[in-house]
Amino acid sequence: MKKKKLLVKVGVSFFALTLFATICLMGFTDESDAKTLKIGAVWGLTGPGSEIQIIMSQGEELCRDWINAKGGVTVKGEKYQIELITEDVKGTPDGAVTSANKLVHQDKVKFVTGLTVPFLAEAVASVTEPNKIAYWASTFDTMTPKNAYSVSAYTTYVSYKPIIYDYLQKTYPNLKKVAMTEILDPIVQRVAAVGREEIKKRGLTYVGNVQYPFGSQDYYNVLNKVLTYKPEILDINLEWPGGAGALAKQARELGFNGPIMGNSPWDPIFVRDKIGSKEYATDMFFPSFEAASAGADIPPMAKTIIKQWTDKHKTPCIIEVFRGWDPLYTLVQAIEAAQSLDPTDVIKTFEKMKTVDTSQGVSKIGGLKTYGHNHMTLQPCPLTRLNKGQIEFLGWNEIVVP
């Protein structure tokens, strides 16, 4: 009996010790190699919407491979290979805070990249800012001098609104009444609010909106209500890639024939195919270009990315790959311009840079007057239109954020 008790005690203690040791090991970090540069990345790899964020994180890894293949990051004569540490934020603010803490305190990175959802980016910033870690978010909306160490690598969707409304007024000068559909999501709400300002500024008439929860599968009920406002123009704001085509198709099915304006860079081929018929796939425009094919005036960097992606993954390259590529790409340019691995130097250098290369071409850097500091990458805005089932690329537009 005694021997058995001992055995059990040994067994349980062993199990407990293993658990404890594993926890302790989590606390160990490797001695950093002088020749590698550790950069953190935060993306929502599980949870709703993860299928797209996985692509973004793969886009970032593609960028890392491309930079490392060219020799890595050169600072003061030394070449550094990038070691990218990607963490899953699980789509929730607590996941974002935990992941950011791990990167900052355990992996001891000095630079973090990632995330397109402003609310989660703010959660990450709440950890990086006090620790003076530079955070290159894919999109960051609440830029203020308080986020001194946060940079937006992609113009927020808000900046697209004036360009889209310009095109609307130019092409459909006699239509005035605008209705909106909006997802109940922080960034979409911001975009819609800016849209309403544009409507007021331009003397158009705002007839109403309908809000709906993210992940709504069926738009018929949303559209039914919005169409009771008898709009001439429909602004569908931001939607996830699957939603845009479905919204347009269902709006047309319900009898809406006016122009439909979108705000996200959806793949035009996908949207057109989803809508299905030539009569329906018309009078719809949104800020995007065909990344899947190599047509229509694509910037050189975009061509490089498309080739890298299709060579490695053998699937169509979608615009989300660019969202993952840009934060790392622009960060590395800033580091090399600063010739320093200190986040403060890098941020200060970035603020003074006039332009930076991005997936969508050479972009200006702006935001000083609007946000209090120059932390916004102003990527040129593409515009595409569906016209009787044909995809027409309307060109690139400069974004101005003073």
Partner 1 sequence: MWDGVLQGIFNGLASGWIYVLVALGLALVFSILGILQFAHGEIYMLGAYVVYYACVVGHIPFLLALLISALVMGVGGIILERVMFRRIRGEMEPAILAAIGLTLLFQTVAVIAFGGYTKFIPSVFPGVVKLGGVRLSKDRLFAVIMGLVLTSALFLVIKKTKVGKAMLAVSHDPEAAALQGINVNRISSLSMGIGSALAAIAGGLMGSILQLAPHMGTFAITKGIAVIILGGIGSISGAVLGGLILGLVDGLIPLYSSGTMAAIVGFCVIILVLLVRPKGLLGHD
Partner 2 sequence: MKLGRTKGWLLFALCVILAPIVFRNNSYLLIVLILCGINVIMTSSLRAMATVGQMCMGSMAFSGIGAYTSALLTLKAGFPFWAAFPLAGLVAMAVAAIIAFPFVRVTGVYFAMLTLFLGEVVRLIIVEWNSLTGGVTGLTGIPPMGAISLLGVHVDFTSLLPYCYFVFFVMMVTLIVLYRIDRSFLGTTLAAIEKDEDVSASVGINVIKYKALLFCIGCFFFGLAGSLLAHYMRILNADSFSLFGSIYILIYMVAGGRKKFSGPIVGAVVLTLIPEMFRVMKQYQPLVFVAVLFFVLYFLRAGLADLPDKIRHLIKKTHPGKAANA
3-state secondary structure of 7: helix
139 touches partner 2 by CB under 8 A = no
12 touches partner 2 by CB under 8 A = yes
Q: Which does 98 bind (CB under 5 to 8 A by kind): partner 1, partner 2, none?
A: partner 2
Binders of partner 2 among residues 85 to 104 (CB under 8 A) are: 86-88, 90-94, 97-98, 101-102, 104
Q: Which does 186 bind (CB under 5 to 8 A by kind): partner 2, partner 1, none?
A: partner 2
The least distance separating partner 2 from the CB of residue 263, rounded to whole angstroms, comes to: 17
Which DSSP state fits 158? G
3-state secondary structure of 2: helix
Residue 247's H or E segment, with its range, is: helix 241-253
Which single residue is written with the structure tokens 């939607």? 239
109 touches partner 2 by CB under 8 A = no
Structure tokens belonging to residue 259: 């122009």
d(CA 52, CA 41): 15
Alpha helices in 263-340 (DSSP H): 268-275, 300-313, 319-338
Cα end-to-end distance, the chain, whole Å: 81
Using left for φ > 0, alpha for ψ between -120 and 50, and beta otherwise, residue 309 falls in alpha
Report which of 165, 162, 168 is spatially closest to residue 283, judged by C-alpha positions: 168
The least distance separating partner 2 from the CB of residue 125, rounded to whole angstroms, comes to: 10
Site for partner 2 (CB under 8 A): which residue of 36, 54, 293, 372? 54
46 touches partner 1 by CB under 8 A = yes
d(CA 100, CA 121): 10
Q: Are strands 355-358 and 260-261 parallel, antiparallel or unpaired?
A: unpaired
Evaluate whether 327 touches 153 at the Cβ level (below 8 Å): yes
d(CA 186, CA 178): 21
Site for partner 2 (CB under 8 A): which residue of 50, 205, 349, 397? 50
Site for partner 2 (CB under 8 A): which residue of 66, 74, 119, 310? 119
Considering beta carbons, is residue 29 or 339 the nearer one to partner 2?
Answer: 29
The Cα-based distances of 118 to 14, 143, 246, 376 in angstroms read: 45, 10, 25, 14
208 touches partner 1 by CB under 8 A = no
Structure tokens belonging to residue 270: 């996908």
Site for partner 1 (CB under 8 A): which residue of 18, 106, 171, 315? 315
Q: Is 253 exposed, middle or buried (0-12, 13-18, 19+ CB in 10 A)?
A: middle
Residue 348 phi, psi dihedral angles, 5° rounding: -60, -40
The size of the interface with partner 1 (CB under 8 A), counted in residues, is 42
The least distance separating partner 2 from the CB of residue 101, rounded to whole angstroms, comes to: 4
171 touches partner 1 by CB under 8 A = no
d(CA 166, CA 180): 17
Evaluate whether 219 touches 250 at the Cβ level (below 8 Å): yes
Site for partner 1 (CB under 8 A): which residue of 148, 225, 349, 372? 225
Binding mask 54-83 for partner 1 (x = CB under 8 A): xx----------------------------
51 touches partner 1 by CB under 8 A = yes
- Helix and strand numbers (H, E) in the chain are 13, 16
Q: Which stretch binds partner 2 (CB under 8 A): 49-57, 149-157, 303-311, 369-377?
A: 49-57
The size of the interface with partner 2 (CB under 8 A), counted in residues, is 45
Report which of 122, 116, 326 is spatially closest to residue 240, judged by C-alpha positions: 116
Binders of partner 1 among residues 272 to 291 (CB under 8 A) are: 273-274, 276-277
The least distance separating partner 2 from the CB of residue 104, rounded to whole angstroms, comes to: 7
The three-point CA angle 6-9-13 to 5° equals: 140
Q: Which does 123 bind (CB under 5 to 8 A by kind): partner 2, partner 1, none?
A: partner 2
106 touches partner 2 by CB under 8 A = yes
Site for partner 2 (CB under 8 A): which residue of 21, 184, 254, 294? 184
Considering beta carbons, is residue 52 or 187 the nearer one to partner 1?
Answer: 52
239 touches partner 2 by CB under 8 A = no
173 touches partner 2 by CB under 8 A = no
298 touches partner 1 by CB under 8 A = no
Which spans of this chain sit near partner 2 (rule: CB under 8 A)? 1-4, 7-8, 11-12, 15-16, 19, 22-24, 26-27, 45-46, 50, 54, 57, 86-88, 90-94, 97-98, 101-102, 104-106, 119, 122-123, 126, 184-186, 189, 213
